[in-house]
Chain A
């Protein structure tokens, strides 16, 4: 096993009268050689026990290391004869959910994962409410305690399940958006939501577990992925790392469809990012459509080739109770390719026939009749719902267009891979998204689902020390563009509000998709 991770086995030459170099310098020399580094920082607390430990272990040791922006840091020395693994915890610090993975730092092996709801939701379900709360007296500290306590509990659980102890966790790498990074560390993020929208800190760098009250090894080190600005956080940098975007020869794009839509396009030569939080177009957000996934929620909708009817699939195949975001995109696609909505996104009564009802002058499409519904009420898609979906998909496309075409001066076809990150994104069917003009019409195999890329990047770091420097190189090389909702944007946006777009030529595959999805009904 010759991994070049954060745990290294080292053997020091023993001291003699002709070489009575001090213990610390003897160790430093061995570490520098092992790491091929010109400096390794050794904290005072380790020097305190160094003489007796080195002698007890006959001048060899298992060294747990980490990095900060300036050098390698020695975290602890372990008895080389003991088999207890030194662990690291990767954490996705999500606004609603936190996912944590345990990694053996010596082998790089992933040994367990746990997910739990962010307890700060009790203070406020969305970031805004929490930021307001954090601005109050001791609010930031309270929010920090909430989340740290939950992390401590779950980390202990996870360790127990894996037959380990939280005291064996030496490193923690966490990635979250800018506000969550502040709230995780007890830093007041109030200025993020006040003009001119200022985070307190973008690069928290490496600090000790004790400073946060984390129950892991007392000398454990914690690293939070750096932010770029108020609306572009460490979770995205983590995602870029995970997708290797910064190493691609040909340009790729990564889209994180979460609460906001965040987009990075680039390669090893450049990285351009923008976040879709700005502007009224995205208010409500893509993911606000529909409900959270749970049993009975409609997650897929398609057109039956034989009958032309809409078919649904529910989670756990229980009676339908509602529809989630990805189901909604499927639904819109099915409605559009079957002609039930026109290019303006309006219901076509002639095609919808009985499925169209009207209440308070608003048309609504009956997806599931009351009799078949798990709630006893019909599951409807009103024109209002559809309009908001239309806005969202148009905003998505427009942002993609702004960043790829207007900013990076490329065509969508130039993108080698289209990474879809974020939990919500994982469930979107690219074909449906293309059909409605939410995503550009590029080959389906271009799309790649990343899953939890924020967690993924944190894992990459714990397995591979080289990733540390890459994180800062990524941060440094990103050009962040503010999305200006100006006249040009609004013009592009207007075009994208059509299905799939006013410029139909952009979606040449649409006919093929329609043909594949719906067998030509030959009279």
Chain B
């Protein structure tokens, strides 16, 4: 149920979800309300008057009893309970007219096969590891097939299952299990990718256990490892959890991890760390989901090529050396326990294949989740992170490349940058007259720093308000204390220390902005180079799919404003979120996807930017906000001109 909120005095209306925080509704509507503590009710600056309708909460010691009776509430503590009319008081409200320029709605992507029923309808709900219950007739004189062959021929005849195989270890258990279940058993079958591959029977249980079949999906990010527990019967996500990749203390990015792995027992250490983290995630999600480890039949993992090789303890050295050769782009299924993953002996691990050293399984997983490989629309897929991976294509062909963006998008290389966790500034608005900010943090805590998506929005707002110019340099003539010089470095104060958790002013500096510009420049120019190579231009792009480790949705308009994304109608941009995790989830449900993956990997041409001469030119031109060639961004140009009149 959506509710309508009307903000007075400018009569700006917005539809929001029930229970939406009032301050977020204001931010979305482009209504500026002073807020500097991140939305946790600490600073007390965001008082508004509810003129009609009801809100939940909003009461604070910052409001006198008299104020409360009048209808004053703190916007950050209020959630929308009905249609509302809210008056933003003079002290809090500033002139929003110039801010209220096409705020840009956010679009989220429909993952392919998000719905298990859809898969069922298409006959594709065939998990890579499936349980089948067999009610066989007991052995008898005249029907004295061997136990193992009895199971196999029953599967052949009644379930059209072929090319079956069983390990010696399992064979040894068969005579007892088959008799314990009086010839009624549940077999767990791991399917091959290729139709002519073998179907491995990985487990046999007496009687019917088909109701209890679970899968895990794990995204091995360079920074964070996310896991989900999935019910293969219902398609439900039972639990989800993320942990920082334990390898972080050995290097922030893949290159520093590769270098660490090259020395001494570095490879072993990094391998152990990632396994430890995965096990931590698994511990949590199996507990939350209340499932037994022996009931987990598959774990699908996706990571970039370096993460994948570290997971499997394969020396990643050649990934960073010319000509950048990964050990393998496809890995065979294996028993998860074999590499130390804390699951049953029979649980199969499936690792997403990649395309090249820098376009790995995480990107392929995202591409699979986005479904772009099935659609005729020309799609630009961008995975925004420390390594920017880009794929362009449609159902017929695909090209991809990767650029090193640096850690800015993940909060690294930025003075007060942080990952998208509680206390990270994720959204921001700046009053164009007073240059006072309005911030919202993840979890509505006092601010600790700023995350990648917050940074993009911040840079865009700084540019729109003229605080910085297109080179990312501060306008030192502006009359505000927030722009200042500390140790010869110009910066803008986002939050003063009293409203932070870290007891320091949170600022953004010119070097921070340089890093961000380089990061976005790398992304944009990589896309441009790829398009150049295949003889297409930005205008040919029919759709953009964004994936990546942003804690929340990246604000599209901001991303376009700074030139991270090409100028495109917001409706054509869809945000996939953690594409890698989604890809793993879908893979758990349908084995058909694994065959598609093989085809996608085969039809994808990889470009190494290092050997593509035009890349450097494109990159240099992209080191401006939004770009040296403003004609690529006509609407941004027009808007910036309008705002700065």
Which residues of A approach B to under 8 Å, CB–CB? Answer: 15-25, 39, 41-44, 47-52, 55, 68-71, 140, 185-188, 190-191, 195-205, 207, 211-212, 227, 229-230
Contact = CB atoms under 8 A, between A and B. Distances in A.
* Residue from the set A39, A44, A185 with the largest chain B CB neighbour count within 10 Å: A44
Given A51-B314, A201-B147, A22 B328 contact: yes
A229 to B, nearest CB: 7
B332 A200 contact: no
A63 to B, nearest CB: 16
Given A47-B327, A201-B148, 8 more contacts: A22-B329, A24-B327, A39-B197, A47-B314, A52-B317, A191-B139, A195-B141, A201-B147
A22 B148 contact: no
A230 B165 contact: no
Given A22-B328, A44-B331, A51-B315, A211 B169 contact: yes
A112 B611 CA distance: 56
B136 interface: no
B122 to A, nearest CB: 27
B157 interface: no
Nearest to A185: B168
Given A22-B328, A23-B328, A196-B139, A48 B312 contact: yes
B152 to A, nearest CB: 9
B546 to A, nearest CB: 27
B75 to A, nearest CB: 54
Contacts of A205: 165
Contacts of B610: 17
Contact of B328 (A25, A187, A211, A227): A25
Contacts of A207: 167-168
Nearest to A187: B172
A50 B139 CA distance: 47
B477 interface: no
A479 B319 CA distance: 56
Contacts of A188: 172, 175-176
Contact of B317 (A47, A51, A195): A51
Contacts of B357: 20
B259 to A, nearest CB: 16
Given A17-B323, A20-B357, A196 B172 contact: no
B328 A200 contact: no
Nearest to A197: B144
Interface in B310-325: 312-315, 317-318, 322-325
B140 interface: yes
Nearest to A41: B332
A50 B327 CA distance: 7
Nearest to B151: A201
B328 A24 contact: yes
A104 B608 CA distance: 45
B198 A69 contact: yes
A187 B146 contact: no
A199 B147 CA distance: 7
Contacts of A25: 328-330
Contacts of B174: 200-201
Contacts of B168: 185-187, 204, 207, 211-212
A47 B175 contact: no
Contact of B149 (A41, A51, A203): A203
Nearest to B167: A207
Contacts of A229: 144, 146
Consensus secondary structure, chain B interface? loop
Which of B144, B194, B196 is the most central at the interface, judged by chain A CB atoms within 10 Å of its CB?
A: B144
Contact of B144 (A20, A23, A230): A230
A187 B171 contact: yes
Among B149, B328, B611, find the residue whose CB has the most chain A CB atoms closer than 10 A: B328
B356 A20 contact: yes
A42 B163 CA distance: 18
A353 to B, nearest CB: 53
A22 B330 CA distance: 9
B334 A140 contact: no
Residue from B141, B197, B313, B332 whose CB has the most chain A CB atoms within 10 Å: B332
Given A20-B608, A191-B147, A70 B197 contact: yes
Nearest to B169: A211
Interface in B105-164: 139-149, 163
A521 to B, nearest CB: 57
B326 interface: yes
Contacts of A71: 197
A211 B318 contact: no
A47 B339 CA distance: 14
B142 A196 contact: yes
Contact of A199 (B146, B169, B322, B332): B146
Interface centre among A16, A43, A203 (most CB of B within 10 A): A203
A196 B140 contact: yes
A187 to B, nearest CB: 5
Choose among A20, A39, A55, A202 the residue with the greatest number of B CB atoms under 10 Å from its CB.
Answer: A20
